[in-house]
Structure 1
Amino acid sequence: MKVRKLIDSFNDAIDGVIHVLKTQRNMRIHFALAVAVLFFSSFFDLTRLEMLMLLFAISLVIICEMINTAIESSIDIITKKYHPQARIAKNVAAGAVLIAAFNSIVVGYLIFFDRLSQFIPNTFFKIKQSPPYLTFITIIIVSLLIVIIKTLSLKGSHLKGGLISGHSALAFSLFIMISILTGDVLVITLSLLMAILVAHTRVESGIHTIWEVILGGILGVLVALLIFSI
Structure 2
Amino acid sequence: MKVRKLIDSFNYAVSGIVYALKTQRNMRIHFTIAFFTLLLSLFLNLNRTELIVLVLTISLVIVSEMVNTSIEKTIDMYTEKYHPLAEIAKNVAAGAVLISAVNAIIVAYLLFFDRLNPYTRVVIIKIKNSPIHLTFISILLVIIITIVIKTKTAIGTPLKGGIISGHAAIAFVVATTITFITENTLVSTLSFFIAALVGQSRIEGKIHTTTQVFVGAVLGILITVLLFQVAG
Cα distance between partner residues in 1 of 2:209 and 2:55: 29
- Map of 2:153 onto structure 1: 154
Across the aligned residues of Structure 1 and Structure 2, the Cα RMSD in angstroms comes to: 3.3
* 1:193 counterpart letter in structure 2: F
- Paired residue total: 224
Task: State the Cα deviation string for residues 90-120 of structure 1 (Å, max 9, x = none).
Answer: 1211111111011001101111121233332
Identity among equivalent positions (%) equals 51
Cα distance between partner residues in 2 of 1:70 and 1:155: 43
Cα distance between partner residues in 2 of 1:21 and 1:216: 28
Q: For residues 5 and 216 of structure 1, do their structure 2 counterparts lie closer, same or farther at Cα, with a shift above 3 Å needed? A: farther
Q: For residues 84 and 168 of structure 1, do their structure 2 counterparts lie closer, same or farther at Cα, with a shift above 3 Å needed? A: same
1:223, distance to aligned residue in structure 2 (A): 6.4
- Map of 1:191 onto structure 2: 191
TM-score by length of structure 1 reads: 0.79
- Mapping 1:18-97, distance limit 5 Å: 18-97=18-97
- Mapping 1:61-210, distance limit 5 Å: 61-128=61-128, 146-154=145-153, 156-159=155-158, 160-210=160-210
1:142, distance to aligned residue in structure 2 (A): 7.8
**Structure 1: gaps of 5 or more residues:** 131-137
- Map of 1:8 onto structure 2: 8
- Map of 2:133 onto structure 1: none
The answer to whether the 8 A contact 1:128-1:181 is kept is no
The answer to whether the 8 A contact 2:166-2:216 is kept is yes
**Structure 2: gaps of 5 or more residues:** 131-137
The answer to whether the 8 A contact 1:154-1:162 is kept is yes
The answer to whether the 8 A contact 2:68-2:97 is kept is yes
Q: For residues 48 and 177 of structure 1, do their structure 2 counterparts lie closer, same or farther at Cα, with a shift above 3 Å needed? A: farther
* 2:89 counterpart letter in structure 1: A
Comparing 88-97 with 146-155, greater Cα deviation is found at 146-155
Cα distance between partner residues in 1 of 2:148 and 2:25: 26
